[in-house]
Amino acid sequence: MKNMTHTPTNAPARICALEETGTRFWYWTGASGARYITSVYDAATCPPLPGAIYIAARRGSADHRQALACGLLPRACGQALEHWRERVRAAGAQEVHVHLLAASPADALHIRDDICANLGLEPDNPGAAQDGAKSRRGLRETASRLVLCG
């Protein structure tokens, strides 16, 4: 009989022996089996990290988090970022886990999709309609409303 072990979808990253790191870092596993390290932020104060991969999570036990949403952080700050924070908190998230090590925007989409597939979540992509605008008028209007973080 084949040994079928369950690979957890998430786990605290015990990256050093110091106790003060607590749950500052967390691992999430993709459908591919790859593990992605994330930095953990409070859902109300997650900093602007345009285009980074995030997992909005509710705390469970000390060694488990329930993923509520997964996607890319907004590419704009100001109202777009605050609206995203409100949506994440309204969904019940207490933490936002952010993966910052994607090599390119295409890699970020691949990682997001890998994590979402393992968690059984649809990718959340706030501002996708604006990002994908095709008309010149739409692009000009979008650019005039956005304040880029940086």
Task: Please write the tens of the pLDDT for every residue from 69-116.
Answer: 999 999 888 899 999 999 999 999 999 999 999 999 999 999 999 999
* Nearest residue to 24 via CA among 35, 37, 36, 34: 37
Boundaries of domain holding 96: 10-145
For residue 5, is it within any domain? Answer: no
Q: Does some domain include residue 3?
A: no
Q: In this structure, is residue 78 part of a structural domain?
A: yes
Half-sphere exposure of 92 (CA within 13 A, CB side): 8
Cα 65 from Cα 28, distance rounded (Å): 10
The amino acid at residue 118 is N
User: Percent helix, strand and coil across the chain, each rounded to 5?
Assistant: 30, 25, 45
pLDDT of residue 89: 95
Please give the single-letter amino acid code of residue 146.
Answer: L
Q: What is the pTM of this model?
A: 0.74
Number of domains in the chain: 1
pLDDT tens digit sequence for 106-137: 999 999 999 999 999 999 865 543 343 332 33
